Amino acid sequence: MFEVQNITITLKRDGRTIARNVSFTLGPGDKAALIGEEGNGKSTLMKYIYDPALVESYCAGEGRVSGGRLGYLPQSMDRALYDAGTEYYLYTDLMDSLGLNTELLFSERTLGSLSGGEKVKVQLLRLQMDEPEALLLDEPTNDLDIETLEYMERFLKATRLPVLFISHDEVLIERTANMILHMEMLIRKSQCRMTVSREGYGAYLARRRANFDHQEQVAQKQRDDYDKQMEKWRQIYSRVDHEQRTISRGNPSGGRLLKKKMHSVQSMGRRFEREKESFLDFPEEEKAILTRFDPAVTLPEGKTALDVGLKEVSAGGKTLCRNVRLQVVGPRIVGITGKNGAGKSTLLRLLWEQVKDRRDVTAAYMPQDYSEALPSGKTAVEYLAERYDKEQITRARTCLGSMRFTHEEMTCPMERLSGGQRAKILFLDMVIKGANLLLLDEPTRNFSPLSAPVVRAALRDFGGAIVSVSHDRKYLWEVCDQVYSLEADGLKRIWEE
């Protein structure tokens, strides 16, 4: 049993409370998905649950956690690869299922030198060797290839350990979670709300939508009925008031009756006002917002967006793949998938070098590591307002505001922002530049499962060409016209519409 009791967390820099009196219990076999929009504090809450010292530099908190030894997989890992020892041989079956080999574990490589998927696999192996009593997993599926994603699904389904996890993979959440914890920031991020629901993701969304629709209908009916009542009341009040003002002074008994009648009418009005105070509020809902691409941004049908032939793709002196041939004509959306370490991100960087200076297209690049594109120390406004004049600053602030950035988030160094918020900044930059050729490395990896459908819709409707590396199954299914697998001997077409 793993129990969280009355956790409250407040940000030191602006005094904003991101979690208030959060309580929940996970039993054996429970898999709880922690969801919420980008920047709402999901990772901060998970760190606090594991060890409050991890967030004490920027948060103040209180509350209690019980339930034994916790295993924690952080969102980012920068430690050295664990010293290998004979104990690893006790876990050969697990290593095989993860696609790890002893050569890697006994090498002198650091975690920083591994692919994203290899990092997660090594860390997951380490967690299970520690024999924890509950697991906290912060985006365990980021950078995993589809084969390993499917392993993660099987692992989560099979383990009897209580698991609290954050993931942006909707398929994983749909297939594994039996409990949803939904963090929201309402009223311009001034008020936090946590919903704890013991049901699967699809059932939670459907019930939430049905409850909100019902609440909205009841709230609207209450107000419509009130307006009708008040209109009748005003008519009665006006008539009695007119009769009072016009009654003859020679009719004192009639005057007394009208005075009593007016008291009754006024009492009725006060009763209506008291009833109004108990009306249901319209439901407060945090909605995913993403600026759409301008419909005028297009590539002509049949125009060559990319035509590349590479004898080999290599990194760190190692050949990753050979004979890569890719031709993309507009408007097409191409997805590239494949195993971790196949060279997909390296290939996308090479494609970017070939197109970034072209004059016949306006290209934009979203790397997997956002620090490659977002300058350290700059604010979101400074980055988006290229000339930093009044007009561009106003536009940048307006765009950021439409995507729920607060003033503090617009004007702080971007490295303080969540991965999803930085992804939004890169998307905004593409929109503002009017790019018609997008090179996107894992474009949905840092968007919440609530934002991801909006992101997919925006990219699906994009009028230009897109080449994207992704392991997001819904993205590949719903957005791409063509999907390739990058293998040792080049790109192999998986399917095409």
Domain assignment present for residue 207? The answer is: no
Residue 349 lies in a domain: yes
> Residue 392: inside a domain, yes or no?
yes
Model pLDDT for residues 368-392, shown as the tens digit of each residue: 989 999 988 899 999 999 766 788 8
Picking from 136, 165, 187, the residue at the C-terminal end of a domain is 187
Euclidean distance between CA atoms 40 and 287, whole angstroms: 13
Is-contact 73 167, C-beta < 8 A?
no
Encode pLDDT of 301-323 as tens digits: 989 999 999 999 998 888 999 99
Same domain, 382 and 313: yes
Q: Distance (Å, rounded) from C-alpha 315 to C-alpha 328?
A: 24
Q: In this structure, are 321 and 265 located in the same domain?
A: no
Name the domain count of the chain: 3
Is the pLDDT at 274 greater than 90? The verdict is no
In a domain, 299, yes or no: no
Task: DSSP for 291-321, please give it.
Answer: PPPPTT-B--TT-EEEEEEEEEEEETTEEEE
* Co-location of 182 and 316 in the same domain: no
- One domain for residues 312 and 459: yes
For residue 380, being part of any structural domain is answered with: yes
The answer, yes or no, to whether residue 299 has pLDDT greater than 60, is yes
* 111 band by pLDDT with thresholds 50, 70 and 90: low
Give first-to-last CA distance, the chain, whole Å. Answer: 48
**Claim to verify: residue 339 and residue 458 sit in the same structural domain:** yes
Choose between 232 and 190: higher pLDDT: 232
Determine the longest span between alpha carbons in the chain, in angstroms.
Answer: 112
pLDDT tens-digit readout, 5-49? 999 999 998 899 999 999 999 999 999 999 998 889 999 999 999
Do 316 and 230 lie in a common domain? no
**SS3 for 111?**
helix
Residue 291 lies in a domain: no
Task: Among 260, 277, 294, give the residue marking a domain's end.
Answer: 277
The 10s digit of each residue's pLDDT in 238-264 is 998 888 888 877 788 888 888 898 899
Indicate if 224 and 322 belong to the same structural domain. Answer: no
Let me know whether 166 and 269 are in one domain.
no
Domain match, 270 and 361 both: no
Query: Would you list the DSSP string of 399-445?
Result: HHHHTT--HHHHHSBGGGS-HHHHHHHHHHHHHHHT-SEEEEESTTT
* DSSP 8-state class, residue 407: H
User: Would you say residue 296 lies in a domain?
Assistant: no
How far apart CA 433 and CA 358 sit, in angstroms, is 14
Say which CATH number the domain at 107 has: 3.40.50.300
d(CA 364, CA 355): 9
Same domain? 333 vs 263: no
Residue range of the domain that includes 222: 217-277
Of 335, 369, 354, the closest CA to residue 476 belongs to: 335
Q: Which of 13-17, 80-84, 202-206, 462-466 has the lowest mean pLDDT?
A: 80-84
Degrees, nearest 5: CA angle 364-384-35: 80
Residues 259, 354, single domain; the answer is no
Residues 46/34, Cβ–Cβ less than 8 Å: yes
Beta-strand relationship, 2-11 and 59-66: antiparallel
- Within-domain flag for 196: no
Strand ranges for 175-226 from DSSP E: 179-186, 191-197
Return d(Cα 148, Cα 163) in angstroms, integer.
Answer: 18
Residue 39 near residue 421, CB atoms below 8 Å: yes
Same domain, 118 and 254: no
